[in-house]
Amino acid sequence: MEMGNPSGTALMMAFLRGFHAVYDNAKIFNDSLAYDLLPEEVREAFKQHLSKSAAEMAPELAKECTDPEISLRLAVRTMAGPVLARARFVEERLEEAIQKGISQYIILGAGFDTFAHRRLDLADRLQVFELDLPPTQEIKRQLLGRLNLQKPDYLHYIAVDFTKENLVSALLESKYDPEQLSFFSWMGVTQYLPLEAVWATLKAIISLSSSGSEIVFDYYDKSAFDPDKASNRIKYIMNTAKSIGETITTGFEPSKLGVELAPLGLRLLDNLGPQEIQQRYFTEYNEDYSASEHVHLACAVVK
């Protein structure tokens, strides 16, 4: 099929989630729809690309790869860890938030997220709002149509470019209700935005939210941008993203994040570093995967 111009990184994230769900027995995160959602030619293109990339991401381990299939598995294990951990983190925190009365789930930069079609046990208790670029949303709807998955009434698509358009206006013009407790997921986005755009988005979320609403997001630490400290994996991801016009530019100092969020009106609840992520999601569930050396997971509540 004609793929138009969706986000290349969004497609890759869906592939990694889907590949893990199909080919691994021990599941860190089971995205049962992502693999079939992508056309076969897209899956094959990613397989070819990743099988050739293992040596760049994990040079020592790649020495043991004897064929493209083994190289592909190594590349997926190297890249997918942070993707699977953040997906599981989001839905664990969301389940807890629902118990506290949260009734709206807003996914900023939703990409090819399948929650609304996959987690019917939770989705039908929420109003779900997916925000992303128009081309990505258009392609996603076409792909869902190929699987005969129609848009449920509780799912709302909102087309928006976060670097050019106003998040507040976009949500308030939809069925979003600022008086209701809300849960915002902002994964795989902060690192691609200028710092001022990150703060502006957080301020917009606070202005849209009642006290007790929550936001989860991931971020890169500052060492990811130091060539002497950055891991091979993160260097590969940065170079690949830059090559398709999605430059990674922004990181934070983990020890200062809570202090920086407080003046905005946010209280930090979780700030998981690589070691904590490794223990929580990989040591317990599947040690073939690992946390990124530079990716952190945060959850904050609106005061």
Tens of pLDDT, residues 17-44:
999 999 999 999 999 999 999 999 999 9
CATH number of the domain enclosing 250: 3.40.50.150
Residue 10 lies in a domain: no
Q: Give the range of the structural domain holding residue 256, as residue numbers without chain letter.
A: 81-302
CA angle 14, 272, 111 (to 5 degrees): 20
pLDDT at 110: 95
DSSP 249: -
| Alpha carbon separation from 262 to 47, 102, 230, 247, 257 (Å, rounded) | 43, 22, 29, 28, 9
- Judged by phi (left if over 0) then psi (alpha if -120 to 50, else beta), residue 73 lies in alpha
Query: pLDDT, tens digit, for every residue of 152-201?
Result: 999 999 998 866 778 999 999 999 999 999 999 999 989 988 999 899 99
Residue 2 lies in a domain: no
CA angle 267, 270, 271 (to 5 degrees): 105
Mean pLDDT of 279-290: 92
pTM over 0.85: yes
Residue 55 clears pLDDT 90, i.e. is over it: no
Q: Phi/psi at 175 (nearest 5 deg)?
A: -85, 10
Average pLDDT taken over every residue of the chain: 92
pLDDT at 1: 44
Residue 159 lies in a domain: yes
Q: CA-to-CA distance for 283 and 288, rounded, in angstroms?
A: 9
- Judged by phi (left if over 0) then psi (alpha if -120 to 50, else beta), residue 188 lies in left
Residue 71 clears pLDDT 90, i.e. is over it: no
Tally the domains of the chain. Answer: 1
Residue 195 lies in a domain: yes
- Judged by phi (left if over 0) then psi (alpha if -120 to 50, else beta), residue 162 lies in alpha
Q: What is the DSSP string of 114-169?
A: -HHHH-HHHHTTSEEEEEE-HHHHHHHHHHHHHTT-PPPTTEEEEE--TTTS-HHH
Residue 4 clears pLDDT 70, i.e. is over it: no
pLDDT at 233: 87
117 vs 189, more confident: 117
Amino acid (one-letter) located at 117: H
Q: Phi/psi at 103 (nearest 5 deg)?
A: -125, 0
Which positions ≥6 away from 40 have C-beta within 8 Å? Answer: none
pLDDT at 74: 85
Residue 47 lies in a domain: no
Q: CA-to-CA distance for 283 and 270, rounded, in angstroms?
A: 19
Residue 103 lies in a domain: yes
For 67, other C-beta atoms within 10 Å of its C-beta total 8
Residue 120 lies in a domain: yes
> Of how many residues is the chain composed?
303
Give the 3-state secondary structure of residue 298: strand
Residue 91 clears pLDDT 90, i.e. is over it: yes
pLDDT at 7: 76
Give the 3-state secondary structure of residue 233: helix
pLDDT at 2: 47
Residue 284 lies in a domain: yes
pLDDT at 150: 92
H helix runs in the chain, sequence order: 8-23, 34-37, 40-51, 54-57, 59-62, 68-99, 115-118, 120-123, 134-146, 167-172, 195-208, 232-243, 257-261, 274-277
Mean pLDDT of 285-298: 94
